[in-house]
């Protein structure tokens, strides 16, 4: 538990939302320093506490919901998808061998004979000036 608690953001799936990313003033247009500092402080504190409150209220139910969803997906994959794929591969291998036998028995001799018939054709191109 300690390892997962200390490494909470190693996947980098979320983007940081900082004050400068949300409120950005272009060059040539700047507010008073006191307003900028007050806005920065208000934004940072509000974001910090709202996130803490919302994650406290929603964190456990969301973790339960996502754990349940991924458990269902894993169970379905392990007990339904993989066995179906294995059965399909067994059946397709049988069909593949039958198809290969058909091609080697009927089509290969036909195309080999057609190739020998057309193999003696010579084409000569002449350029007339």
Domain membership flag for residue 83: yes
Q: Is residue 112 part of a domain?
A: yes
Residue 116 has φ and ψ, to the nearest 5°, of -70, -35
Is 124 part of a structural domain of the chain? no
Residue 50 lies in a domain: yes
What local confidence, expressed as pLDDT, does residue 100 receive? 94
Nearest CA to 47 among 23, 70, 17?
17
Does 94 reside within a domain?
A: yes
What is the Cα–Cα distance from 47 to 18, expressed in whole angstroms? 9
Q: Is residue 47 part of a domain?
A: yes
The beta-carbon contacts of 115-120 under 8 Å, at least 24 apart in sequence, are: none
Split at pLDDT 50, 70, 90, the class of 28 is confident
Confidence of residue 125 (pLDDT cuts 50, 70, 90): confident
Whether 65 is in a domain gets the answer yes
In contact, 22 and 42? CB cutoff 8 Å: no
Residue 15's pLDDT band (cuts 50, 70, 90): low
Q: Is the pTM of this model over 0.75?
A: no
Q: Into how many domains does the chain fold?
A: 1
The answer, yes or no, to whether residue 83 has pLDDT greater than 80, is yes
What pLDDT is attached to residue 4? 57
* Per-residue pLDDT tens digits for 84-112: 999 999 999 989 999 999 999 999 999 99
What DSSP designation does 26 have? P
d(CA 93, CA 87) in angstroms, rounded, equals: 10
* CB neighbour list of residue 43: distance below 8 Å, 6 or more residues apart: 19, 22, 23
Q: Which domain holds residue 96?
A: 31-118
- Residue 62 domain-assigned? yes
């Amino acid at each position: 538990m300690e390892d997962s608690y200390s490494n909470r953001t190693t996947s980098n799936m979320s983007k940081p939302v900082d004050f400068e990313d949300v409120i950005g003033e272009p060059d040539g247009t700047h507010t008073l320093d006191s307003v900028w500092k007050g806005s920065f402080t208000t934004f940072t504190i509000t974001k910090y506490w709202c996130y803490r409150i919302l994650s406290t209220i929603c964190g456990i139910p969301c973790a339960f919901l996502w754990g349940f969803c991924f458990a269902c997906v894993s169970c379905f994959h392990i007990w339904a998808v993989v066995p179906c794929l294995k059965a399909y591969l067994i059946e397709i291998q049988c069909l593949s061998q039958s198809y290969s036998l058909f091609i080697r028995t009927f089509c290969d001799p036909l195309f080999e004979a057609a190739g020998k018939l057309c193999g003696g054709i010579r084409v000569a191109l002449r350029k007339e000036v």
